[in-house]
Amino acid sequence: MTAAPHLETLLWRVGLKHVAGVDEVGMGPLAGPVIAAAVVMPPGSYVDGVADSKVLTAAARERLAEEIHRRALTVGIGVVEPEEIDRLNIYQAGLCALRRAVEALAVVPEFVLVDGREIPGLAMPQSAYPKGDSFVCSIAAASIVAKVHRDGLMRDLDRLYPGYGFARHMGYSTRAHFAAIREYGPSPIHRRSFAPVRAAVRGVTDTQLPLAPVTGLD
């Protein structure tokens, strides 16, 4: 990765001292929270090896997350719980998590670099970059911190709600996960607004899923 002219370098060069990179994880799974992280690095500081969390192995992510935490000026975490996801919808929940991560920072950043789309209602200027986690260092760092944080949380939730395999699939849709939902029903951390979870509640198999979204169940 590492884009040639670092965006952060340009911002630091014009005198900004607190530039935050923000990214969220956990949009896709059927269970568990959406987690966002915001990272503010000291001007001029880059962590070697930081890249899009998706292209890193779990071991590399753990190591890098530790180093990012050690070297960052401040790190903020934003959490949106499953019941909020059901209430807001997953798209708004992602934005909400991003906003909370920025608000959780120990300093108010002068500029925010965000993955994907802009965060409505943010107090400071921002730029959004689709696929930003693969070429903006601060966003990549945030993606690593968020991913490691969520994986740890899902392992904890696996102990709280054993049998679903959360520690393995992190709440994502796998055959084993579908089978567990059908067998045990949804747990308190399942997103009941998501189609496969609704289907399990209604007692139908995933081959009988309705073609159109079912409404009026919340």
Partner DNA sequence: CATGTTCTCGGTATGCATTA
Partner DNA sequence: TAATGCATACCGAGAACATG
Helix (H, G, I), strand (E, B) or coil at 18: coil
* Most distant pair of Cα atoms in the chain: their distance: 59
Site for DNA in 32-61 (CB under 7 A): 53-55, 57, 59-60
Given the rule CB under 7 A, which of 25-33, 40-48, 74-82, 103-111 is the region that contacts DNA? 25-33
User: Should residue 155 be labelled a site residue for DNA when binding is judged by CB under 7 A?
Assistant: no
- Which of residues 186, 189, 193, 200 is near DNA by CB under 7 A? 193
Q: Distance between CA atoms of 193 and 77, rounded to whole angstroms? A: 24
Least distance in angstroms from the C-beta of 88 to DNA: 9
Sorted by sequence, the CB contacts under 8 Å of residue 15 that are 6+ apart come out as none
CB 179 within 8 A of CB 30: no
Helix axes 137-160, 58-71, angle to 10 degrees: 110
User: Should residue 132 be labelled a site residue for DNA when binding is judged by CB under 7 A?
Assistant: yes
Q: Which helix (H) or strand (E) holds 2?
A: none
User: Should residue 158 be labelled a site residue for DNA when binding is judged by CB under 7 A?
Assistant: no
C-alpha triplet 34, 157, 170: angle, nearest 5°: 55
Taking the least distance from each CB to DNA, the nearer of 14 and 59 is: 59
Taking the least distance from each CB to DNA, the nearer of 12 and 26 is: 26
Draw the binding track, 80-119, toward DNA (x: CB under 7 A; -: no contact). Answer: ---------xxxx-x--------------------xxx--
Closest CA to 21 of 55, 59, 72: 72
Helix (H, G, I), strand (E, B) or coil at 113: strand
Chain residues binding DNA by CB under 7 A are: 23-30, 53-55, 57, 59-60, 89-92, 94, 115-117, 130-133, 143, 146-147, 150-151, 165, 168-170, 172-174, 176, 193-196, 206, 209, 213
